[in-house]
Amino acid sequence: MDDNLSGEEEDYYYSSDQESLNGIDNDESVSIPVSSRSNTVKVITKESLLAAQREDLRRVMELLSVKEHHARTLLIHYRWDVEKLFAVLVEKGKDSLFSGAGVTLLENQSCDSSVSGSSSMMSCDICVEDVPGYQLTRMDCGHSFCNNCWTGHFTVKINEGQSKRIICMAHKCNAICDEDVVRALVSKSQPDLAEKFDRFLLESYIEDNKMVKWCPSTPHCGNAIRVEDDELCEVECSCGLQFCFSCSSQAHSPCSCVMWELWRKKCFDESETVNWITVHTKPCPKCHKPVEKNGGCNLVTCLCRQSFCWLCGEATGRDHTWARISGHSCGRFQEDKEKQMERAKRDLKRYMHYHNRYKAHIDSSKLEAKLSNNISKKVSISEKRELQLKDFSWATNGLHRLFRSRRVLSYSYPFAFYMFGDELFKDEMSSEEREIKQNLFEDQQQQLEANVEKLSKFLEEPFDQFADDKVMQIRIQVINLSVAVDTLCENMYECIENDLLGSLQLGIHNITPYRSNGIERASDFYSSQNSKEAVGQSSDCGTSSKS
């Protein structure tokens, strides 16, 4: 790479030195805010969960002029997808929107759910008993039953985990019961159950919302993550955990979620152990335990004292001469067994090739994480020296670029293992097409690997001990290599999306788009003003029954 850099190019990238570069390790001490623009990923804590839920509730309440429990019923039915709810409204109309979600609105409906304030006796169709009118409660659908029957119905449904959509008791009625009535009746006899009901309603915002998920940290940090644009992304929680929002596993791009799950299982289960046993051992014909040969003689003896021929696996006598093995003559070729052995050897060799390189880069990233303290010390020393160069942000930015590119490089090997193997895409590509695509990908992978190693080498240089000209040379190399690896990472992702996965018919292997600034760190959700407006506009009108 040319050491000289034109002033225009240098100034262009030097201004971008100030951009945030988040490292592969989840260490907050080496992280910088990703960007000054608004964040599309939010952290929802226990304290802000209610405000986040009310933000969506308020939008629906204002558009449709409905009460809060009707808005919640609609949002739960459409899995808290406000845009989809609005689309159904425009396409099918308000009546279809409400009926599909089980929302019934009666004209001239009173805020009081009790049937009558008088003590006149009325019959309950469930228990078939006559009760005073003030002990009957009417739902939005118009059906009235006594409070005892309603309470028993609500208790059963809440205990069964159906709090979010409790249906009316009337025959063939699919209307959803008013949550305020449920809360009022249940809290009279079972306050703890009413709290459980409220908790289920609150957590439905996370459980039923495809754009919100719990952080998979262990032990759990108690946070949830909400994304605004696309659920196919990788995020970082405020607790420091980076994960794939789509499958809740660790961040694994450019692997697809399916590929990563297969690779994780392959690395941790016993499949490759079985392959190794198949390649390097033979089963004893008597006790069937695997036996490994430790000498050159093809007459082997198991611990159970059974002797057998290593070449064909058949039982023999214990005597062995230069001419023959006692009681056995080996010479018949068994094609199926030979093919099985060769395939096991080939599969094991291929797996070890990709796994060793994947593991090597993972180990390198862990060792390079220690560079963070070394870089900080070298920058601190260099700033105190009387050098012409005063700004050393290039070193820190280069370090974070190294973290990200190393991470991309490590996960590119599991991707290649499945992309060019027979497990997933055997019927999607011909042998010639697979070879062309593999050569294209491996060329880009090789270029990225070479530049990543160069960047790592220059960052390890003791530039705090060098003179001005030598420091400037290292600075230019680090900046050039940082730009190069960023471009190569982006090109690799484009190759995967367009040339490799894009041409396949099976569309389940989508990958997270490449982000030059690294995995986006979620910002705290703060909506106090929105929460106040939602509280002020909620039209709760005392729907609990009166005794």
* The two structure tokens encoding residue 380: 């601190």
For the domain that residue 319 is a member of, what is the CATH number?
1.20.120.1750
Is residue 280 situated within a structural domain? yes
Asked which of 181-185, 304-308, 412-416 is least confident by mean pLDDT, the reply is: 304-308
Q: What percent of the chain has pLDDT over 70?
A: 80
Residues 367, 500 within the same domain = yes
What is the secondary structure of 89-114 as a DSSP string?
A: HHHH-HHHHHHHHT----TT--S--B
Q: Say whether both 184 and 293 belong to one domain.
A: no
- Which candidate, 400, 392, 365, places its Cα nearest to that of 516? 400
Compute the mean pLDDT over every residue in the chain, rounded to the nearest whole number: 79
Q: Of the candidates 180, 196, 212, which is a domain's last residue?
A: 196
Q: Which of 196, 222, 248 is the last residue of a domain?
A: 196
Question: What value does the mean pLDDT take over residues 18-42?
Answer: 43
Q: Which of 7-16, 43-52, 76-85, 521-530 has the lowest mean pLDDT?
A: 7-16
What beta strand segments (E) does 202-353 contain? Answer: 212-214, 224-227, 234-236, 242-244, 282-283, 290-291, 299-301, 307-309
31-40, 196-205, 255-264: lowest mean pLDDT where?
31-40
Q: Do residue 179 and residue 276 come from a single domain?
A: no
306 and 429 inside one domain: yes
Of 99-113, 325-339, 474-488, the least confident: 325-339
CATH assignment of the domain containing 170:
3.30.40.10
Catalytic: which of 127, 297, 304, 541? 297
pLDDT digits (tens, 9 = 90+) for 311-325: 777 787 766 655 556
Considering the domain boundaries, does residue 491 fall inside one? yes
Query: What is the rounded average pLDDT of the residues 258-278?
Result: 77
pLDDT band at 108 (very low <50, low <70, confident <90, very high): very low
Is the pLDDT reported for residue 28 higher than 80? no
Annotation marks residue 541 as catalytic: no
Residue 510: what residue type?
Answer: N
Q: Is residue 177 part of a domain?
A: yes
The yes-or-no verdict on residue 63 having pLDDT over 50 is: yes
Task: Decide which of 50 and 111 is more confident.
Answer: 50
Quick one: which of 229, 236, 228, 242 has its CA closest to 33? 236
Residue 480 has pLDDT above 90, yes or no: yes
Residues 361, 462: one domain?
yes
Specify whether the CB–CB gap between 254 and 241 falls below 8 A.
no
Number of folded domains in the chain?
Answer: 2
**Going edge to edge, which strands form the sheet with 41-44?**
212-214, 224-227, 41-44, 523-524
Q: Are residues 164 and 302 in the same domain?
A: no
Of 196, 216, 243, which marks where a domain is finished? Answer: 196
Higher pLDDT, residue 102 or 535 = 102
Predicted pLDDT of residue 520: 85
Identity of the amino acid at 429: M
What pLDDT digit, counting tens, does each position of 280-290 carry?
788 888 887 88
166 domain-assigned: yes
Contact 205, 140 (CB under 8 A): no
Q: Are 489 and 408 in contact (CB under 8 A)?
A: yes
Inter-residue contact 482 to 452 (CB < 8 Å): no
Cα angle value 532/536/537 (rounded, 5°): 120
Q: Residue 117 has what pLDDT?
A: 53
DSSP for 398-452? HHHHHHHHHHHHHHHHHHHHHHTSSSSSTTTS-HHHHHHHHHHHHHHHHHHHHHH
pLDDT at 451: 95
Q: Is residue 112 part of a domain?
A: no
**Is the pLDDT assigned to residue 27 strictly greater than 80?**
no
Residue 489 confidence (pLDDT): 95
pLDDT of residue 319: 64
Q: Are residues 379 and 486 in the same domain?
A: yes
pLDDT surpassing 80 at residue 339: no
* pLDDT score for 406: 92
Whether residue 541 has pLDDT greater than 50: no
* 137-146, 501-510, 511-520, range with the lowest pLDDT: 501-510
| CA distances to 102, 221, 431, 505, 508 from 428, in Å | 44, 42, 10, 7, 13
pLDDT in tens, 137-171: 988 888 899 999 999 999 999 998 888 889 999 98
Task: Say yes or no: 307 and 452 in one domain.
Answer: yes
pLDDT exceeds 80 at position 534: no
Q: How many Cβ atoms are within 10 Å of 46's Cβ, its own excluded?
A: 10
Of 543 and 382, the structure prediction assigns the larger pLDDT to 382
Q: Hey, what's the torsion of the CAs at 134, 140, 146, 147, to 10 degrees?
A: -80
* 496 inside domain: yes
Residues 411 and 262 in one domain: yes
Per-residue confidence (pLDDT) for residue 158, from 0 to 100: 92
Verify that 277 and 421 share a domain, yes or no.
Answer: yes
Tell whether the model's pLDDT for residue 13 goes beyond 50.
no
Select the more confidently predicted residue: 82 or 503: 82
Q: Distance (Å, rounded) from C-alpha 140 to C-alpha 135?
A: 17
C-alpha distances out from residue 84 to 81, 87, 91, 119, 543, Å: 5, 5, 10, 46, 29
Asked if pLDDT for residue 48 goes beyond 80, the answer is yes
pLDDT at 327: 61
In which domain, by residue range, is 502 found?
257-325+350-510
Answer whether 0.85 is exceeded by the pTM: no
**Distances in Å between the alpha carbon of 493 and those of 246, 489, 498, 500, 501?**
18, 6, 8, 10, 10
| pLDDT tens digits, 418-451 | 999 888 888 888 888 889 999 999 999 999 999 9
Q: Is the pLDDT of residue 461 over 50?
A: yes
Whether 263 and 371 share a structural domain: yes
Question: Considering the domain boundaries, does residue 104 fall inside one?
Answer: no
* Residue spans of alpha helices (H) in 102-146: none
Identify residue 187 by its one-letter amino acid code.
S
Domain membership of residue 311 (yes or no) is yes
Closest by alpha carbon to 414, among 357, 499, 364?
Answer: 357
Q: Are 178 and 277 members of one domain?
A: no
